[in-house]
Amino acid sequence: MIRKYGIPAAFAAALACAVPASAVEIQGHRGARGLMPENSLPAFARALTLGVDVLELDIAITADDVVAISHDPALDPAITRGPDGAWLTGPRPLIRALPYAELEGYDVGRIDPESRQAKRFPDQQAVDGTRIPTLEALVALVRKSGNDRVRFNIETKVDPTRPDGTLPTDAFAARLVREIERLGIGDRAMIQSFDWATLRTARALAPAIPTVCLSAERDWLNNIQRGRPDSSPWTAGLDIDREGGSLPRLVQKAGCAVWSPYHRDLTDAALAEAHEIGLEVVVWTVNDPLDMTLLIERGVDGIITDYPDRLREVMEKRGLPLPEATPVEP
């Protein structure tokens, strides 16, 4: 059979008939990481040009208190070249230790061809000279596009097991909330994190901004940590074992409006329970159209993807409503 992104054509056609025509939220992960340099203005511009409901992004805070967009608290050598044009080597500079004027000197416009990331995203278009943007610059780009309904899903990159890598939790959350309010996007923003203490602080400061509890139970990332004698350091003192093992109820107790699990962790029972207690479920990070199709069929509320173009294609084939495209240049 002919396959596209791993989907047997006949199987996809059969599933298309089974999917109800209901809206599913499209979130562009790091803008559109599969297509353009991650967390960059070119990536966010591509997502807006394609048409997404939400721009998903990550936040770091510089030495001079600038809210910058970066997935890692430290510069990533797989995507970063110094002012001399050479790929970073040696210790990774922490963003919290750099003033923004110095951070701007780094080029994040392509993936190191020798890195594992290059193999994961072979179709990503390089844009040499791309800089790490600020949240303010992203908001300006959205306004330039004329898109007055796209929302911002802003992840705090705080690791409670490595507290020296960022500002302390309370200070980080407070700085982000102040910037969201200064930029006038409080009614279009949500704050997400694997570190639920950050979300607790953000909610106390700005109760109207929804919070999103991220979760993963994998060898490479596990912030839930079942079966501990105490609570996980990631879940703000809450313990899943005291909630009968129910992750949706743990999320509800944490005060989040949205639960965002790794998509391969999500069971049908947990999805049904989450909906029963009023949580929205937005899964991350889904790049295979077959997985997208199955998750839509199962009834998730939203999908975070590196390839919003693929998700739009899946949804269009099923007659699902799509967000408006708002073409813009970075």
Task: Tell me the pLDDT tens digit for each residue of 75-87.
Answer: 999 999 999 999 9
Task: Summarize pLDDT for 138-159 with one digit per residue, the tens.
Answer: 999 999 999 999 999 999 999 9
Looking at residue 193, its amino acid is S
Alpha-carbon distance of 296 to 57, in angstroms, equals 23
Look up residue 214 and give its amino acid. L
For the stretch 308-317, pLDDT in tens is 999 999 999 9
Residue 130 to residues 39, 79, 111, 126, 319: CA-CA distances in angstroms? 10, 11, 12, 9, 36
pLDDT for 23 equals: 84
To the nearest whole percent, how much of the chain has pLDDT over 70? 93
Neighbour-count burial of 1, counting CB atoms closer than 10 A to its CB (0-12 exposed, 13-18 middle, 19+ buried) = exposed
The pair of three-digit structure tokens given for residue 195, joined into one six-digit string: 């570190």
Model confidence over 244-301: pLDDT tens digits?
999 999 999 999 999 999 999 999 999 999 999 999 999 999 999 999 999 999 999 9
What sign for the dihedral angle of Cα 14, 18, 22, 28? negative
Question: pTM of the predicted model, to two decimals?
Answer: 0.93
The answer to whether residue 14 scores a pLDDT higher than 90 is no
CATH T-level topology, domain 3-317: TIM Barrel (3.20.20)
Count CB atoms within 10 A of the CB of residue 208: 8
Provide the token pair at 308: 């919003």
274 neighbors 251 (Cβ within 8 angstroms): yes
